[in-house]
Amino acid sequence: MGTVSLRLNDRDDALIRKYAEIHNLDLSSFIRETVLARIEEDYDLALFDRIWEETREEERYGHDQVKKELGL
């Protein structure tokens, strides 16, 4: 298992520790979950951007148009 050292000023340290405490998380779990969530968000956004560009020329339909097609 790896270890990561993080340098924080006193204010940021107190804020992060208090947030983890309020949400009943140990500090290590909170930081790990937060970092992994950020990586996942960035990956999802990059994937969306790639798909958007790949399908840019395809015909798109609005909500009203789709409802009309489905008879809703």
pLDDT tens profile 41-54? 999 999 999 998 99
Q: Is residue 4 domain-resident?
A: no
Percentage of the chain beyond pLDDT 90 is 83
For 8: left if phi > 0, alpha if psi spans -120 to 50, otherwise beta; the answer is beta
Instruction: Quote the pTM value.
Output: 0.66
Q: Is residue 2 domain-resident?
A: no
Tell me the pLDDT of the chain averaged across its residues.
Answer: 94
Looking at the 3D structure of the chain, how many domains does it have?
1
Q: Is residue 1 domain-resident?
A: no
Is residue 11 within 8 Å of 21, Cβ to Cβ?
no
Domain that holds residue 61: 10-70
Quick check: 1 pLDDT over 90?
A: no
Q: Is residue 23 domain-resident?
A: yes
Q: Is residue 3 domain-resident?
A: no
Closest of 1, 2, 19, 3 to residue 11, by C-alpha: 19
Distance CA(56)–CA(10), nearest Å, equals 48
The length of the chain is 72
pLDDT confidence tier of residue 56, bands split at 50, 70 and 90 = confident
Distance CA(72)–CA(60), nearest Å, equals 18
pLDDT confidence tier of residue 66, bands split at 50, 70 and 90 = very high
Q: Is residue 52 domain-resident?
A: yes
Q: Is residue 5 domain-resident?
A: no
